């Protein structure tokens, strides 16, 4: 089993990732923290609590940063719907967030853990940057960070920038400079490894959770003839099946100003940073295995 913390901004694809994590007997979700991103932090927190209640789990949720460190906040509600989880009529959550701020909750959870924890991040990097700046002692408790964000090619917010990095590039820069083991699951692989319409359609057969996932995925705009890009879910797939990805070690820098703000610049030649690297960057994924894995998770763990 893997002990994990999810730092998220649900968000349809975050919601699919959170649902899969909460129900996976191989994973122990110690904490969910939320951040402003796809929608405001009030909404991302409510959505995380809604999912915890949907699956009847006792996992703490802590609300985090309302705004990026420096840059002005711009949401993606036009993609994820006003609520952030459009497509399914969820009841109001009964659970409440912790009284602690996400950064405090992250510190406590990490420092109180006897074993190092894997951080899965699928939103902007604001909470992580604040944590690393304020409480650097947590570093020894972080096993690895598997993060959805960035791109070696095109962006999806601007032609240069992927949304999670674009939202808070300064925070992303702090994380990439942290020397922690980082796995970058960027747009290169999340756009290539789509969940096919056939897979989405099959989800319907697997009870109320399967129906819910089917309905929200059907509301995701990141859809083309090959299916839907459930970006954030690939972080969990990497955690359990790193062998299904092709990776390259690079030094990744973040553009924090100007028209390319939020771009991830990987030192592909290895020359500028003298061969030093700060991240394992995913460059290829076994799409069939990813589809198969999701179907197995939903059919085995959520029925």
Q: Using CB under 5 A as the criterion, which residues of the chain lie in contact with Ca ion when the complex forms?
A: 9, 11, 14, 122-123, 232
Question: Using CB under 6 A as the criterion, what x/- string covers residues 16-55 for binding ligand BDR?
Answer: ----------------------x-----------------
Q: What is the C-alpha separation between 138 and 132, in angstroms, rounded?
A: 7
Cα 229 to Cα 189: distance, rounded to the nearest angstrom: 9
CA 34/CA 48 separation, integer angstroms: 8
Least gap, CB of 167 to Ca ion (angstroms): 9
Catalytic residue among 2, 231, 241, 273: 231
Interface with ligand BDR, residue 193, by CB under 6 A = no
* 163 scored as a contact of ligand BDR (CB under 6 A): yes
- Contact criterion met (CB below 8 Å) for 172 and 130: no
Stretch that binds ligand BDR, among 7-15, 199-207, 251-259, 294-302 (CB under 6 A): 7-15
Please report, as residue ranges, which positions from 118 to 137 form the binding site for ligand BDR (by CB under 6 A): 122
**101 in active site:** no
What count of Cα atoms within 13 Å lies in the side-chain half-sphere of residue 276?
Answer: 8
Residue 192, Cβ neighbours under 10 Å: how many?
16
Q: Residue 33 forms beta bridges with which residues? A: 7, 62
Distances (CA, A) of 157 to 72, 188, 229: 14, 14, 15
Which residue is it, tokens 């590039």? Answer: 169
Whether the ω angle into residue 90 lies within 30 degrees of 0, i.e. cis, is no
How many C-beta neighbours within 10 Å does residue 82 have?
A: 11
Q: Least separation, in Å, of the C-beta of 273 and ligand BDR?
A: 25
Nearer to ligand BDR, 141 or 194 (CB): 194
* Total residues at interface with ligand BDR (CB under 6 A): 13
Rule CB under 6 A: say whether 64 interacts with ligand BDR: no
Q: CB-wise, 141 or 213, nearer to Ca ion?
A: 213
Residue whose CB is less far from Ca ion, 110 or 185: 185
Residue 26 to residue 240: CA distance in whole angstroms: 9
User: What's the half-sphere exposure (Cβ side, CA atoms, 13 Å) at 89?
Assistant: 0
Using CB under 6 A as the binding rule, whether residue 238 contacts ligand BDR is answered as no
> Which span sits near ligand BDR by CB under 6 A: 64-72, 135-143, 162-170, 279-287?
162-170
76 binds, among Ca ion, ligand BDR, none (CB under 5 to 8 A by kind): ligand BDR
Residues that bind ligand BDR (CB under 6 A): 11, 13-14, 38, 76, 122, 148, 156, 162-164, 231-232
Catalytically active residues, by annotation: 231
């Amino acid at each position: 089993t893997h002990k994990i913390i999810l730092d998220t901004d649900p968000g349809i694809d975050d919601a699919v990732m959170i649902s899969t994590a909460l129900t996976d007997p191989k994973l122990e979700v110690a904490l969910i923290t939320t951040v402003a991103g796809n929608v405001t932090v009030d909404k991302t927190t409510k959505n995380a609590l809604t999912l915890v209640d949907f699956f009847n789990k006792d996992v703490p949720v802590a609300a985090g940063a309302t705004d990026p460190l420096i840059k002005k906040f711009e949401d993606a509600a036009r993609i994820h719907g006003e609520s952030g989880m459009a497509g399914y009529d969820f009841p109001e959550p009964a659970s409440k967030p912790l009284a602690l701020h996400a950064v405090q909750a992250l510190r406590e959870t990490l420092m109180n853990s006897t074993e190092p924890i894997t951080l899965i991040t699928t939103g902007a990097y604001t909470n992580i940057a604040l944590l690393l700046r304020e409480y650097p002692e947590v570093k020894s408790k972080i096993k690895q960070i598997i993060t959805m964000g960035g791109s070696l090619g095109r962006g999806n917010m601007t032609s240069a920038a992927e949304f999670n990095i674009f939202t808070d590039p300064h925070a992303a820069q702090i994380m990439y400079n942290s020397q922690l083991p980082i796995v970058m699951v960027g747009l290169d692989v999340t756009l290539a490894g789509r969940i096919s319409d056939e897979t989405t359609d099959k989800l319907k057969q697997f009870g109320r959770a399967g129906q819910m996932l089917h309905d929200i995925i059907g509301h995701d705009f990141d859809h083309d003839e090959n299916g839907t890009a459930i970006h954030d879910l690939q972080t969990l797939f990497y955690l359990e099946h790193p062998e299904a990805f092709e990776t390259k070690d690079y030094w990744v820098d973040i553009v924090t100003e100007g028209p390319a703000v939020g771009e991830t610049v990987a030192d592909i030649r290895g020359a500028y940073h003298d061969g030093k690297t700060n991240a394992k960057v995913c460059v290829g994924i076994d799409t069939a295995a990813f589809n198969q894995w999701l179907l197995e998770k939903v059919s085995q763990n959520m029925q």
